[in-house]
Structure 1
Amino acid sequence: MSDAVKIGDVRIGDGEPVYVIAEIGLNHNGDVENAKKLIDVAVDAGAQAVKFQKRTPEISTPDHMKDTPRETPWGTMTYLEYRYKVEFEQDEYSEIDAYCKDKGVVWFASPWDEPSVDFLESMDAVAYKIASASVTDLDMLRKIAGTGKPVILSTGMSTIEQIDTAVETLGKDDLIILHATSTYPLPADEANLRTIQTLKDRYGVPVGYSGHEPGLQISLAAVALGAVAVERHITLDRTMWGSDHAASLEPQGLRHLVRDIRIIESALGDGVKRVFPGELAPLSKLRRIGA
């Protein structure tokens, strides 16, 4: 297993506290004030990072989707127009950057095209998250690798051979892999959490989990199985308009997730069998024959 990867001032890897990434994604619905509220939710819950998505809609939107009508809170528009409507640019990200610094939380984003990498570099992003949809975009992966920044690679909807190629393209230095299944919402029988150990054994880098399931159980099981990071989408309200809200955690859900992750970390211990102080009183009362 490789050494821990450092993002900002935080080390991520075996033996370190689980790194909790609160994915805002597009759940701000194009409103920077919503983004700030979601940052507050993440900070209040104890997440170490918030994550956004950055696109150049003309490039990242598939051609067959561009003119598809989309019903939105702003009326009917094409899918491409909708993508521009919810996209943050320089002014919004400058505001987000300042807000995160004031709140003491790290932010980064998933770029969906090469110009978005340039944009995030201009914002001095501390790390890059590669979305599952981008695993096979090798030109973008090479560009990200060239920044020298830490990289988090999600592996949803990808074969092991595609992941092999992505890892070879990125290199293993400062790489974290997240096991993921890109079904929204994720049913338990598609979680396949034992893949966390498969990825650790195959690549020798820190491995975490990116979840899209309802509830907390699967994410918590991932921690028990050795995930060093957990990423979950967050929302102000799961009934809000937008494609990711229904598979996201509301504020209370995120607080409970972080709370329970910390309990599990403490409960896992070090694997050394010994008599704990709390056992001494029952030992003196209940054991009749000593060693």
Structure 2
Amino acid sequence: MFKIGSKIINASSPTYIIAEVGVNHNGDVQMAKKLIDVAADSGADAVKFQTFKSEKLVSKNAVKAEYQVENTQSQESQLEMLKKLELRFEDFRELKEYCDGKGIEFLSTPFDDESAAFLNEIGVHAYKIGSGDLTNLPFLKKLSQYNVPILLSTGMANLGEIEDALDVLKENEVCILHCTSNYPAPYHEVNLNAIRTIQNAFGRIVGYSDHTEGNTISFAAVALGAKVVEKHFTLDRDLPGPDHKASIIPQELKELVDGIRNIEASMGDGIKRCMPSEINTKEVARKSLVAAKDLVEGDVISENDIVTKRPGTGIEPKYLPLLIGKKINRNLSADQTLTWEDLI
């Protein structure tokens, strides 16, 4: 079992959908609030940010990832980029209160000890750990002490590295998120079957942090058993910043939520049977045994006397061998459906 706030996430629960703002607010609190509005209107369960102190996250000489260079078209350092995307703790306090008023869960990824302590102070119900900190075991050890459920992203990782992290977090509730850490992630490197591999290996609730374009892969992840889905979204993919181009827009976020709910409704219990809405179709589309020609009471039925035709309201064709050699007890006209009562 895994719980975020009042919502329990288990094998039979609805998929928990996290609308990931990340840094797509571009350092603007008002834009962040607009994104919260979009997430709440979409029906997502939570909206997630990233909380960090830039100087504590990266060194002044750290270069940007290739996708960050490509998406920002800038040669600035990673520190310079992050400084423009950083929000103050006071801003996050305000945003959490705004989320509370909107009835949507506030989540955030802490990237340093001070940010983690702050998020604990304002009462977050779960930490999201980014893939980059999966192997940062000292940091995970500190987070474990807050006794808060943890969403553990596993981009770039193998099973051994996941196991090492879980050993540190053994006292915490942990949901493991499969992930491919590229923005956008190429389809041929998504490796969705790893969802089941992780599930089988660790027996934990497993989800999917989706960095692909569009919603298709998130839908597939849900069908494979992902119980948490996280997806970046933005107000406009043409906004400046590293993550906008790999994010979905408000209409697509609504489509993501609606699509996941439809998939959940369609999964069923796995018992193969005729569904209530199929009953009429079954009667119309299936076939019965009918008289091939006019038959007279007392006639002995031969194969030439019977054909199979719609509707399926009479004797099923599979019982044809049982009719051969039987007598009929009333006159039947051609195309008349036989019943068991017509036989002697």
Instruction: Tell me the TM-score normalised to structure 1 length.
Output: 0.92
TM superposition shift of 1:107: 0.8
Question: Contact 1:155–1:163 (CA<8 Å) still a contact in 2?
Answer: yes
How do 1:76-225 and structure 2 match up within 5 A?
Answer: 79-171=78-170, 173-225=172-224
Q: Deviations over 1:98-134 (max 9, x none)?
A: 1101100001111112221112112211110000011
Question: Contact 2:18–2:230 (CA<8 Å) still a contact in 1?
Answer: yes
Question: Contact 2:236–2:249 (CA<8 Å) still a contact in 1?
Answer: yes
CA RMSD of aligned residues (A): 2.1
In the other structure, the counterpart of 1:26 is 23
TM superposition shift of 1:24: 0.5
> What is the percent sequence identity of the aligned residues?
43
Query: Aligned partner of 2:246: which letter?
Result: A
Q: C-alpha distance in 2, partners of 1:76/1:159?
A: 31
Structure 1 or 2, whichever has the larger Rg, is: 2
TM superposition shift of 1:78: 5.5
Kindly tell me the number of residue pairs found equivalent between the two proteins. Answer: 284
Secondary structure of the 1:20 match is strand
In the other structure, the counterpart of 2:33 is 36
TM superposition shift of 1:199: 0.5
Query: Aligned partner of 2:21: which letter?
Result: I
Question: Contact 2:54–2:82 (CA<8 Å) still a contact in 1?
Answer: yes
Cα distance 1:76–1:222, how it changes in 2: closer, same or farther (>3 A)? Answer: closer
Query: Aligned partner of 2:88: which letter?
Result: E
Cα distance 1:15–1:287, how it changes in 2: closer, same or farther (>3 A)? Answer: farther
Question: Contact 1:172–1:205 (CA<8 Å) still a contact in 2?
Answer: no
Cα distance 1:172–1:247, how it changes in 2: closer, same or farther (>3 A)? Answer: farther
Q: Deviations over 1:128-167 (max 9, x none)?
A: 0000011011111011111111100000011221111011
In the other structure, the counterpart of 2:9 is 12
Q: C-alpha distance in 2, partners of 1:35/1:244?
A: 14
TM superposition shift of 1:287: 3.6
Query: Aligned partner of 1:155: which letter?
Result: T
Question: Contact 1:24–1:51 (CA<8 Å) still a contact in 2?
Answer: yes
Q: C-alpha distance in 1, partners of 2:47/2:258?
A: 17
Instruction: Tell me the TM-score normalised to structure 2 length.
Output: 0.78
In the other structure, the counterpart of 2:54 is 57
Q: Which has the higher contact order (CA 8 A, sep 6+)?
A: 1
How do 1:248-287 and structure 2 match up within 5 A?
Answer: 248-285=247-284, 286-287=286-287
Question: Contact 2:60–2:77 (CA<8 Å) still a contact in 1?
Answer: no
